[in-house]
Amino acid sequence: MGKKKNYLLEKVVEVVSRNNKGKVLDLGCGDGRTGKRLLDLGFSVEACDMDKERFKFHGEIPFMTVNLNRPLPYKDNSFDYVIFMEVIEHIYNPSFVISEIRRVLRRGGRLVLSTPNILNIGSRLRFFIEGSFDFFREPTLDFSKCFPSAIQNIHVIPWRYQELEYLLFQNNLSVVNFFTDKRKTNFYFLLLPIMYFQAKAKEKRAKRRGSVDFRRINSVLLSKDMLRGRHLILEAIAK
């Protein structure tokens, strides 16, 4: 039986590789497969993570052990790209970490960040029924008591697109595109009319009251990618 395709990894590699070759930091690299793919495509890659033993490409890719509660051990303006896959949902100090990412990125450099997409239809329905989003079902306190040595693996902060966009904006990073890895949702088309009606009604109420114009954000939140994708991927440029 063939190895299962990692659609998230493939999409992130695609997003980075369509740009010019440059120096990449694979931050929170895990086993290092994403960095290795980019290395093979001609990018210069460095990697870092808290777990040195998990990393599989020692000798091929320079590796450093890091603690994301402390400044990154790299000079200012060191990288053209930072890859930050499936990490931000694990940390309690996201603003500090994003500010460090911006510090090590060159002006015009790109951050490619991914996190579970809690705004797909399945996740929205799970929250309605269960009170928990996809990928965020375990209560953190109970998990920490059952698996104290694995607490770093639990997802602690669910991120909507809106909050991530603002977090990056606060740290001089501008979102230029978003992507997801696709998945089917059987009841997708049944719910769309309700969602569109609610969105349009919200836009009209806001306009009547002189409030925020919701048309831009609704075009994102009601897109097929957002409603059907399993993981959210943001591409942002350092200003």
Q: Model confidence at 189, in pLDDT bands (50, 70, 90)?
A: confident
Mean of pLDDT over the chain: 94
Task: Give 3-45 pLDDT, tens digit per residue.
Answer: 677 999 999 999 999 999 999 999 999 999 999 999 999 999 9
Task: Give 98-129 pLDDT, tens digit per residue.
Answer: 999 999 999 999 999 999 999 999 999 999 99
Q: Model confidence at 185, in pLDDT bands (50, 70, 90)?
A: low
Give the SS3 label for residue 109.
strand
With a cut of 90, say whether residue 52 has pLDDT above it. Answer: yes
Domains of the chain: 7-186+230-238 (3.40.50.150)
- DSSP state string for 152-219: GGS------HHHHHHHHHHTTEEEEEEEEEE---TTHHHHHHHHHHHHHHHHHHHHHHT----HHHHH
* Amino acid 1: pLDDT: 44
Task: Give 85-97 pLDDT, tens digit per residue.
Answer: 999 999 999 999 9
Compute the distance between CA of residue 221 and CA of residue 223 in angstroms, rounded to an integer: 6
Task: Give 134-173 pLDDT, tens digit per residue.
Answer: 999 999 999 999 999 888 889 999 999 999 999 999 999 9
